A and B are shown apart, each in its own frame.
Chain A
Amino acid sequence: DAKTTQPNSMESNEEEPVHLPCNHSTISGTDYIHWYRQLPSQGPEYVIHGLTSNVNNRMASLAIAEDRKSSTLILHRATLRDAAVYYCILRKASGTYKYIFGTGTRLKVLA
């Protein structure tokens, strides 16, 4: 299974944009890029996913490099409630959906 690499931790000031990077140099052509986050004392929750094109939803944006070997999750205005561990996950487009979580990035938001 393809692996992802993320920085262990990042800090951001409240109401500023946050760019969370993820490297996935062994990604295959049909792997989807998923992002989940885990707030303290909760299970992970879906944030966004994409295949090749950049994606936007109400929570975040996902920017995918042209060669797909890296991606960036963008939170446009971080709030204190965005403090969480953010996981970048590759999921195959065929077969049984297995999520292999990377080590994740712990985001700290400063007031």
Chain B
Amino acid sequence: DTEVTQTPKHLVMGMTNKKSLKCEQHMGHRAMYWYKQKAKKPPELMFVYSYEKLSINESVPSRFSPECPNSSLLNLHLHALQPEDSALYLCASSQETGPSGGYNEQFFGPGTRLTVL
């Protein structure tokens, strides 16, 4: 199974709502990533988790709160978002986050398309 699943596929929320995005992989990968992608732009890295610990936070506003409850699951909790946060949110996983003898390709999910009203 080389699949990364993301739920929901689409999400519409108001600026006062609290919602969560979910990402799951069963490839035994120990690194998981959140990216944000605006229309017609490349993905931008937000967070990196390594062995369930936050490894990188690319200066993301605190209204985005990541969580890695176990090695297969990654959540992104959303609170008090702004309309400019509307984007495609991509999750990815890889074997490791650093050198391990392998090339560590990242496997991406299909994304959650978020609209903030």
B111 at the binding interface (Cβ < 8 Å) = yes
A101 to B48, CA, bound (A): 15
Min CB gap B58→A, angstroms: 9
Are the C-beta atoms of B42 and A32 separated by less than 8 Å?
A: no
A98 to B34, CA, bound (A): 11
Q: Chain A interface: which of B63-71, B76-84, B97-105?
A: B97-105
B28 at the binding interface (Cβ < 8 Å) = no
Residue in B closest to A42 when the chains form the complex, CB atoms: B110
Are the C-beta atoms of B110 and A41 separated by less than 8 Å?
A: yes
Chain A residues whose C-beta falls within 8 Å of the C-beta of B44 in the assembled complex: 101
Cross-chain contact of B99 among A43, A93, A98, A100 (Cβ < 8 A): A93
B21 at the binding interface (Cβ < 8 Å) = no
Are the C-beta atoms of A43 and B42 separated by less than 8 Å?
A: no
Interface size class of chain A, counting residues whose CB lies under 8 Å from the partner chain: 20 to 34
Cross-chain contact of A96 among B4, B56, B90 (Cβ < 8 A): B56
A44 at the binding interface (Cβ < 8 Å) = yes
A36 to B41, CA, bound (A): 14
A102 to B55, CA, bound (A): 22
Binding site for A on B (CB under 8 A): 4, 31, 41-45, 48, 50, 55-56, 90, 92, 94, 96-99, 103-111
- 30 A-B pairs within 8 Å (CB atoms) are namely A41-B110, A42-B108, A42-B111, A43-B92, A43-B108, A43-B109, A43-B110, A43-B111, A44-B43, A44-B90, A44-B92, A44-B106, A44-B108, A45-B108, A49-B103, A49-B105, A93-B99, A94-B99, A96-B48, A96-B50, A96-B55, A96-B98, A97-B31, A97-B98, A97-B106, A98-B45, A99-B43, A101-B43, A102-B42, A103-B42
Binding site for B on A (CB under 8 A): 32, 34, 36, 41-46, 49, 87, 93-104
A43-B110, A49-B103, A98-B56 given; 14 more Cβ-contact pairs under 8 Å:
A36-B106, A42-B111, A43-B4, A44-B43, A46-B107, A49-B105, A95-B98, A97-B48, A97-B96, A97-B98, A99-B43, A99-B45, A101-B44, A103-B42
